[in-house]
Copies of this chain bind each other. A is one copy, B any other.
Amino acid sequence: MRVPDIGVLAGQLMRALQDELFETLAEQGHPDVRPRHGTVLAFLDGKGVRATDLAARSGQHKQIVGTILDELVKLGYVTREPDPADRRAKLVVPTERGIDEIAKARAILAAIEERHERNLGAERYAGFKEILHQVTRDQRAWRQAGAGTD
């Protein structure tokens, strides 16, 4: 078969990573988190983050983040605390369970990356990840760069 293009590769890779992450997470006591939850949980910290920040960081619409947070609250992963600095806003704070999930998810991802490091050599993998980061940044900049030409 012809070598797949970068888009197909990125899609297949993401899908395969998701499969391993959420299946392993389920085995480790978090069977009810789904991929979309991860896009929000990944950006939490102990101090609390505003929902709008989460939307901006994850690149999702704030409506989606809202429903994701509803589910996470229901599942006991986060709570919504009032923001003392702004009565409109609410701070999203992870619970014990949420903190556990975040830690486990990071550990699983780290283990996956370690596996690829072993397969490729630490140096090659580090170089790969750096370029992946850069290509992603460049590609995401496309819209700002040349999209006005419509």
Q: A1: which of B3, B10, B57 is its contact (CB, 8 Å)?
A: B57
Question: Which residues from chain B contact A21 at a C-beta distance below 8 Å?
Answer: 7
User: Which one of A17, A110, A124, A150 has the greatest number of beta carbons of chain B within 10 Å?
Assistant: A17
Asked whether, in the complex, the Cβ of A7 is within 8 Å of the Cβ of B3, the reply is no
Interface residues of A in 44-64 (CB under 8 A from B): 57, 59
Interface size class of A (residues with CB under 8 A): 35 or more
A11 CB within 8 Å of chain B: yes
Asked whether, in the complex, the Cβ of B128 is within 8 Å of the Cβ of A59, the reply is no
Question: Which residues from chain B contact A10 at a C-beta distance below 8 Å?
Answer: 10, 13-14, 17, 132
Question: Which residues from chain B contact A18 at a C-beta distance below 8 Å?
Answer: 7
